[in-house]
Amino acid sequence: MSFEVRPGQFFGIIGANGAGKTTLLNLITGYAPPSSGTIEFEGEPIHGLPPYRIAHRGIGRTFQITQPFAEMSVRDNVMTGALFSRNGARRSLKEARAMSEEPLRLVGLTDQADVPAGALTLGGKKKLELARVLATEPKLILLDEVMGGLTWGEIEDLMSTLRRIHAAGATIVMIEHVVHVIVDLCDHVFVLNFGRELFRGTPQDVITHPEVIEAYLGKPIAAGADA
Amino acid sequence: MNMRYVSVSLWVAGLLLALLTPVFGSPTMVDITFRTCSLVVLAVSWNLMASAGLISLGHSAFFGLGGYAAILATNSAGTPFWLSLLGSLVAGAILGLGLALITGKMRGIYFAITTLAVSEGLRVIAVMLPDLTGGAKGAYLAPDNFPGAFTVNMAMGIAAVGTCLIAWAISRSRYHFAFRAMRANEGASQMLGIYPLKYRAAITAISGSVASLAGAVEVWHGGYIDPALAFDLHITITSQIAPILGGIYTLSGPVLGAVATTLIGDATRIGLGHIEGASLLVFGLILVGCVLYLPQGIRGGIAQFLDRRSKRSASTPMPADAGQR
């Protein structure tokens, strides 16, 4: 499997359960070093680097199973992102605090900034994951099912947030089960099946491609076969 | 009367007690203050590691190493009092750094067991090297350099105040963010750019050095050391009982806990000392009761009490982060 994400792309990755989407993100972010092959970012190899060094290169990531720092307040969670990222070492706590305002506002958590992160709902925790990543000022954002567990209203809100982030210059790679989100947001879609590439193309190509439909829904039932 | 007011007045009271008791106190008070300050240092030190998710089951390793470093430096090279304390600080920091490097990514119970092993290992080494350490018979401090009881008592007071200041400075720095993030989830913290080993090494070095300092001052105070005394399991246990009793992961909790542990221990010993085993039994029961009824420690209990009172008098909401300090 080989693919490339260009700066400024909004790149979607879909695939059935167990297709290897999260594994792919783990490989890129250093949580699972690849046994073979190469991964490059901005022309430099990054495979085998530990996660914190990947983060310092400007790659941010959210986790499918949210990983909030439960005892810290929502704001402190986001501040942590601002403090330890690429340019974080030079930032004072005051600057980090000021920097946390914008991500909190973007995801709509400003009102809950002083609540312990563990007290948030699942949807809130997903938003916090995103806010925390945004505070690291990433060049490339990897989103692992940020929409999972959100209500339709929240999904609409988050989609417009992601559009704004993308418009501001970020490159986004998004894993998502909610297909209409991918179709609406992404300009390129990559379909994984059992760890291999099944298809790639524009969202319109993908949702009309027979093999993709088959992987997601199974073979169409022949008319009258089971009545 | 809010938490901030109570907290500031308690800190000031503690500071005055630690630094003025050696000057004005009666011998009994000086003794109690000395032991309390020693436990404050150990408890704050233990709590610092715990705040970063590192549960130590071997704090006596630092305590004992500090004691031996001080006595060996003084007896073999005539190192004066204050310089020997500095030597113990350095020795403790080196052991702390070594511990961070050995344990690498170990967390939770694996880290805890390693610290226990380090402490036991040092005890065995101290027994096995009689030429250096005096072995199981122990070693007496050569009295030539003894700076006087007042100076030693004062040194423990300063050590306690200094340790609290270090913990306070950390709680207001970026380290506070790194440690809490690592404690919650070391894996996820890396994705925000935190290099766990760096912060682990920093906290084990700081925590180890101050715990060693306590051991060094204790040796100057008692004038004698042996492996069983230096690497006593009792040290390890009280250094974690105090912060848990007082309020783990907080600034004031370990201090409150150290005071309470010392006072409860003394009260049961004096009150029930004539009945075999009764004092320890009651001491244990009080601790169990505290853990049951004050799950967030004494500090949490005070905060809750003040919170209820202020709600009753005027229903002004407390800021959500009032429970942080």
Locus of tokens 């009258």 = A224
Percent of chain A with pLDDT over 90: 59
Strands A140-144 and A59-61: parallel
Q: What is the pLDDT of residue B179?
A: 97
State whether residue B20 sits within 8 Å of chain A by CB.
no
Q: Is the pLDDT of residue B276 over 70?
A: yes
C-beta separation of A13 from A26 below 8 A: no
> A52 and B319 in contact by Cβ < 8 A?
no
Give the pLDDT confidence score for residue B103 in this predicted structure: 92
pLDDT digits (tens, 9 = 90+) for A161-200: 899 899 988 999 999 888 889 989 999 999 888 888 888 8
Question: What local confidence, expressed as pLDDT, does residue B145 receive?
Answer: 78
Instruction: Report d(CA A8, CA A25) in Å as an integer.
Output: 19
User: For A29, which of B180, B185, B191 is closest by C-beta distance?
Assistant: B191
How much is the average pLDDT of A4-10? 93
Q: Is A144 helix (H, G, I), strand (E, B) or coil?
A: strand
Ranges A43-52, A150-159, B274-283: which has the least confidence: B274-283
Place of tokens 């695939």: A15
- Give the pLDDT confidence of A107-148 residue by residue, as tens digits: 889 999 999 999 998 889 999 999 999 999 999 999 999 888
Position A220 scores a pLDDT of 65
Q: Is the dihedral of CA A166, A26, B180, B193 positive or negative?
A: negative
Region A13-38 average pLDDT: 90
B320–A83 CB contact, under 8 Å? no
Beta strands A171-175 and A196-201: pairing type?
A: unpaired
Residue range B208-223: mean pLDDT, rounded: 96
pLDDT score of B320: 44
List the single best residue of A26, A83, A94 to mutate versus B (max B Cβ within 10 A): A83
Contact A166, A90 (CB under 8 A): no
A26 pLDDT tier (thresholds 50, 70, 90) = very high
If phi over 0 gives left and psi between -120 and 50 gives alpha, with beta otherwise, what is residue A221? beta
Does A115 sit within 8 Å of B188, measured CB to CB? no
Instruction: Look up the domain containing A181 and give its range.
Output: 10-217
| pLDDT higher than 90, residue B313 | no
Q: What is the mean pLDDT of chain B?
A: 91
Q: How many helices (H) and strands (E) does chain B have?
A: 14, 2
Q: What is the pLDDT of residue A57?
A: 95
Distance to chain A for B180, nearest Cα, Å:
7
Closest residue in A to B320 (Cα) is A114
Is A52 close to B193, i.e. CB distance below 8 A?
yes
Residue A106 lies in a domain: yes
Is residue A226 assigned to a domain? no
Which of A22, A27, A52 has the highest number of chain B CBs within 10 A, making it the mutation to test binding with B? A52
pLDDT score of B119: 96
Give domain status of residue A4, yes or no. Answer: no
φ, ψ for residue A192, nearest 5 deg: -105, 145
- Does pLDDT of B281 surpass 50? yes
Using the Cβ of B193 and the Cβ atoms of chain A, whether some distance falls under 8 Å is answered with yes
Instruction: For residues B134-145, give the mean pLDDT.
Output: 87
User: A-chain residues within 8 Å CB-CB of B177?
Assistant: 72, 76, 79-80, 83-84
Q: How many CB pairs under 8 A join A and B?
A: 84
Confidence (pLDDT) at A10: 95
Report the alpha-carbon distance of residue A107 to residue A125 in Å, rounded. Answer: 11
Q: How many domains does chain A have?
A: 1
What's A173's domain CATH number? 3.40.50.300
Nearest-by-Cβ selection for A52 from B174, B184, B195: B195
Band (pLDDT 50/70/90 cuts) for residue B319 is very low
What is the per-residue pLDDT across B29-57, written as a single tens digit (0 to 9) for each? 999 999 999 999 999 999 999 999 999 99
pLDDT at B169: 97
Provide the pLDDT confidence category of residue B106 given band limits of 50, 70 and 90.
Answer: confident
Angle between helices B149-171 and B81-103 (to 10 degrees): 40
For residue B101, the distance in angstroms to the closest alpha carbon of chain A comes to 17
Nearest CA-CA distance, residue A184 and chain B, Å: 28
Res. A71: pLDDT tops 90: yes
Which pTM was predicted? 0.90
What is the interface pTM, i.e. ipTM, of the complex? 0.89
Averaged pLDDT for residues B90-116: 93
Flag whether pLDDT at B317 surpasses 80.
no
Tell me the percentage of chain B whose pLDDT exceeds 70: 96
Q: What is the CATH number of domain B3-234?
A: 1.10.3470.10
User: Rounded mean pLDDT of B176-194?
Assistant: 95
